[in-house]
Amino acid sequence: MESAGGILLVLAAVIAVVISNSSLNDYYHTVLSTQIIIEIGDFYIDKDFHHWINDGLMAIFFLLVSLEIKREVLDGQLSSRSQISLPVIAALGGLIIPAILYALLNWNNPTNMQGWAIPTATDIAFALGVITLLGKRIPEILKLTLVAIAIIDDLAAIVIIAIFYTEELAITPLVFAGIAILILAIMNRTRIPRLSPFLIVGCILWVCILKSGLHATLAGVIIAFFIPSKTKNPQGHYEINERAPMYVLEHKLHIWVSFLILPIFALANAGVSFEGLSFDLLKNPIALGIALGLFFGKQIGIMSFTFIGTMLKICSLPNNINWKQYYGLALITGIGFTMSLFIGGLSFEDETLQSIVKLGVISGSIMSGVLGYIVLKVTNPINPKLTK
């Protein structure tokens, strides 16, 4: 079932929340905080289990979704200029308006303003999980548009983290990352047909980006950009076909991402304890700014920027997608959850403010997810042909 991966993802998230609010909470956090060290001579990577999941497994997830976007851009329903410009414009609106709403509520407090980027994030895994629950009734292009918007949004989040929340960048690993990217470009240019050289250099790139201080998931996006999309046909000419490394890797990764990586990610990140949380905290400008930014800011930003873009003929809605369906998609992007919680952890160290952030993120994400699911279900009735 197409929706099986989404169901498993949501189930893993529910299990994580239950564990975090039970007597098993201490064991849960003990496992996630377990240090895993890889050491070769003087070189080492020392991260806890939680960071290995977020920086390692999610790089593979970003690799897969980037391959999907690349395929659609090269030879699919995002191949025209107006269609590829849509997710860029929509993501821009989904970044600017939530940040403005948050800033309007917290402008007079410099400490609170540190969290301006929290409502700009979209949790691509959970957003895709919710939309996947609707199964075959959702057009494939709508899912791809959501993924495109979300991945651009997350790339922007990585840039924001690098600029505003990274205390120090290591220059030497960045130089080696640049060399790795150059090697990937040369291999792509010379049309190396095998995947293994790209994956080996890609692993080196991941290590370099991780050690540089940037978000390591960026490596997955870069690797996907250089994976060859063409291979020789029987006549000896290069063409886009299913035997190309890009298609082969995408096909191999799907089952691992859907049924292992995303559920593990949800299990490790959705464990939010409700201890110390109360609805009175929603009156706090931080919680209010986050909740309103995610729920109202995302949908207003995406819808308004897209509408203006279509009026100016810069972009257009995907084929066979109407504005009602697109509105459901805009609502789904308000699911910030783990990405918003991650940025919130970088924004505030105070435990009290962390509790306020959690309430704002949970409230805004749940409202966005529930209403988005309802709107998409109503605007995408089951196709009788698919039930026969």
Confidence (pLDDT) at 241: 73
- Residue 343, pLDDT score: 87
Query: 24-83, pLDDT tens digit by residue?
Result: 999 999 999 999 999 888 888 889 998 899 889 988 988 988 888 888 788 776 777 777
User: Over its length of 388 residues, how does the chain's per-residue pLDDT go in tens digits?
Assistant: 456 777 787 788 889 889 989 999 999 999 999 999 998 888 888 899 988 998 899 889 889 888 888 887 887 767 777 778 999 999 999 999 999 999 999 999 999 999 999 999 888 778 887 887 787 778 888 888 888 888 788 778 777 877 787 767 789 999 999 999 999 999 999 888 889 999 999 999 999 999 988 878 889 989 999 999 888 777 667 777 778 899 999 999 988 988 899 889 888 877 777 777 777 777 899 999 999 999 999 999 999 999 999 999 898 888 888 999 999 999 999 998 877 887 888 888 887 888 888 889 989 999 999 999 999 999 877 654 444 4
Q: What is the DSSP letter of 230?
A: E
Q: What is the dihedral of CA 244, 241, 253, 204, to 10 degrees?
A: 30
How many residues appear in the chain? 388
4-387 maps to which CATH number? 1.20.1530.10
**Domains of the chain by residue range:** 4-387
- In degrees rounded to 5, what are phi and psi of residue 240? -75, 120
Are the beta carbons of 214 and 232 closer than 8 angstroms? no
In whole angstroms, give the CA distance from residue 178 to residue 349. 33
Single pTM value for the model: 0.80
DSSP label at 382? P
> Torsion angle, CA of 269/145/224/157, rounded to 10 degrees?
-50
Give the largest Cα separation in the chain, rounded: 70
C-alpha atoms less than 13 angstroms from C-alpha of 30 in its C-beta half-sphere: 5
The pLDDT of residue 388: 41
Task: Write the CA distances from 387 to 139, 219, 381, integer angstroms.
Answer: 15, 41, 12
Model confidence over 311-323: pLDDT tens digits? 998 988 888 889 9
Please classify residue 200 by burial: count the beta carbons closer than 10 Å to its beta carbon, then call 0-12 exposed, 13-18 middle and 19+ buried.
exposed
SS3 at position 387: helix
Please say whether the beta carbons of 351 and 294 come within 8 A: no
What's the confidence (pLDDT) of residue 383? 56
| Chain CA centroid to CA 116, Å | 19
- CA dist 131 and 126 (Å) reads 9
